Homo-oligomer: A and B are copies of this chain.
Amino acid sequence: MQPAPSRLATRTFDLDEVRSEFPVLSRRIHDHPLVYLDNAATTQKPLTVLDRIDSYYRTENANVHRGVHTLSQEATDAYESVRPVMQRFLGAASSREIVFTKGTTEAVNLVAGSLARGYFKKGDEILLTGMEHHSNIVPWQLAAEATGAVVKVVPVNDRGELDLGAYQALLGPRTRMVAVVHVSNSLGTINPVRQMIADAHSMGVPVLVDGAQAVAHGPVNVQDLDCDFYCMSAHKVFGPTGTGVLYAKEEWLERMPPYQGGGDMISAVTFEHTTYHEIPHKFEAGTPNMAGVIGMGAAIDYLSAFDIEEIQRHESQLVTHATGELEELGGVRLVGTAAHKTAVVSFLPEGLHPYDVATVMDRFGVAVRSGHHCTQPLMDQYGIPGTLRASFALYNSLDEVDRLIDAVRKARKFLS
């Protein structure tokens, strides 16, 4: 059975119109119009998101879940109404499977931290890949340290693709968890998570997918993937900072002990014994980021109005153009040339240091990320100090790609 589509396209994609909806894009940097190509770090926010946050604070703000008064009810309704929005967006079976977190990092920590309380045992293996973001490495290292489990790593080849044979060989009787990035933030590689999940499940192993870089660039359906956990950040999908989602299958949420304790996640407290609230609230201790969650709902509404395939076509044009032009320049190493990749182009002009190049490019108004992109093990493997990364979002234009290439050319000239 094919799950119902999670997005409904009601708007035709019009680049100029879209650009006009993101106020920050009209900024000037060092006397040049800003070319913002650091979307994998964080995306910009459309007016609808800003307006929603503002109107929440101006007319609805109250603490959720506890009050009988109208304002508290309205705030609670607004907050809880985002759960089904995220459920549909991710294709979850139930809104009880949507836990609001600070972001991807907290979502991974929540799972790793909760499973460290009883699930992982000494000698258990946690299988990661060589292209994970630190946020999908360190929480598992902490859990391993606490429980005596060990971390194993699936190797990555020179094009930036996972070695699936090695993955299958590593999946063994001691494997208790697989954690894998859906789309790599430093390379853009789209990993074959569906296959990897099927492989893991055939051995009875659950899989966590780090979807931080996936959700803004293509449809995600967690039921279709059949992943056990899926993590994302609102700020990387046109939403506010400080919020995100952990999707987890209901059976896992029921089974897992709580992660943080506090108000809102309990049903009864005595000093002798505390009983926890039902899922998903069991995992949401304390006053939540109401404005953040409500803004995230507005961001998903914004994105869902488009046909995601139109956005994908647009972004893939940008990637193809950028890649072609960088190859044309010559003397530029492309890092991450996987067959399946998304809106990221990572590169390094030969003989130059990414810090220097990024510093000079900024002088021309072009914002790219330089460094190891929180994937240090991968950079170590490639023997480079880091890369320059241009990462695209729906509001980027082919003109901006030309400005990117021009800035690279000028920076190289200047630095050589």
Contact = CB atoms under 8 A, between A and B. Distances in A.
Interface stretch (A35-43, A84-92, A171-179, A305-313): A35-43
A82 B351 CA distance: 39
Contacts of A106: 260, 285-286
Mostly, the A contact residues are mixed
A285 B103 CA distance: 10
A287 B377 contact: no
B57 A45 contact: yes
B287 A241 contact: yes
What's the number of copies of this chain in the assembled complex?
A: 2
Interface in A355-379: 355, 358-359, 361-362, 366-371, 373-374, 376-377
A280 to B, nearest CB: 16
Nearest to A380: B270
B274 A141 contact: yes
A370 B41 contact: no
A260 B141 CA distance: 11
Interface string A124-148: 0000100001110111111000100
A135 B45 contact: no
A95 interface: no
A63 to B, nearest CB: 4
A302 to B, nearest CB: 14
A206 interface: no
Interface string A256-280: 0010111111101111001000000
B57 A50 contact: yes
Contact of A241 (B44, B289, B369): B289
Interface stretch (A9-17, A21-29, A193-201): A21-29
Interface stretch (A67-75, A324-332, A334-342, A392-400): A67-75
Contacts of A117: 146
B59 A286 contact: no
| Size bracket, chain A contacts | 35 or more
Nearest to A290: B241
Nearest to A357: B68
A104 interface: yes
Contact of A134 (B44, B61, B269, B288): B269
B50 A286 contact: no
A406 to B, nearest CB: 16
B380 A103 contact: no
Interface string A229-268: 0000101000011110000000000000010111111101
Contact of A68 (B44, B288, B358): B358
A368 B236 CA distance: 37
B66 A263 contact: no
B23 A242 contact: no
Interface string A144-185: 001000010100000000000000000000000000000000
16 contacts: A27-B71, A29-B71, A36-B71, A42-B63, A45-B57, A66-B371, A66-B374, A68-B359, A102-B102, A105-B262, A109-B260, A113-B260, A133-B262, A135-B285, A138-B265, A235-B287
